[in-house]
Amino acid sequence: SLKIRNTEIQNANDVAVLEDCTDYSLAKTISKIEEELEKGDLPDCLDDDIIPSAGNEIGAETQIRFLKAKVRVVQEELDNVICEYRKKEDENENLKSQLKDTVEENTRLQRTISLQQSQAEKYKVLSQEANKKSEGLQQEVVALEKVLH
């Protein structure tokens, strides 16, 4: 029993445990299942689809190895999903940063547009005043020409 237990512990060390998850320990879960198997407290659900139909004909050690392999596969899938999640999270942060930069640029450009529009209005008014002054001066020139002739 001790030899089998040592073999099981070595197999449990092969299982990938996600280091970031501090509140969940795969090794503890496996140990708990192993303890239940040693006590003979086997769950009633061993006939479900986790172990193939040939599972009834294989020994407990083989079932444990099979389940550990299944756990490794699920753990790898979980690691892949977490990796994808982190990539998406990073991409999301980059997009948020780009959005913030774009909003700031938009605000700056709106201020520039507003300033240029007010300057355009100012020059339009100055142009109108200059045109009026020019018309007045032209009329004065015409009047002076009449006086000279």
Residue, of 109 and 19, whose pLDDT is higher: 109
Residue 123 CA to residue 86 CA, distance in Å, equals 55
Do 17 and 75 form a contact (C-beta atoms < 8 A)?
Answer: yes
Place of tokens 């490794």: 72
φ and ψ of 131, to 5 deg: -60, -45
Within 8 A by CB and 6+ apart from 30, the residues are 12, 15, 68, 71
What letter does residue 17 receive in the DSSP assignment? -
Q: Given this model, what pLDDT does residue 58 score?
A: 73
Say what the pLDDT of residue 3 is. Answer: 43
pLDDT number for residue 134: 95
pLDDT tens-digit readout, 84-135: 999 999 999 999 999 999 999 999 999 999 999 999 999 999 999 999 999 9
The 3-state DSSP class for residue 118 equals helix
Q: What is the pTM of this model?
A: 0.46
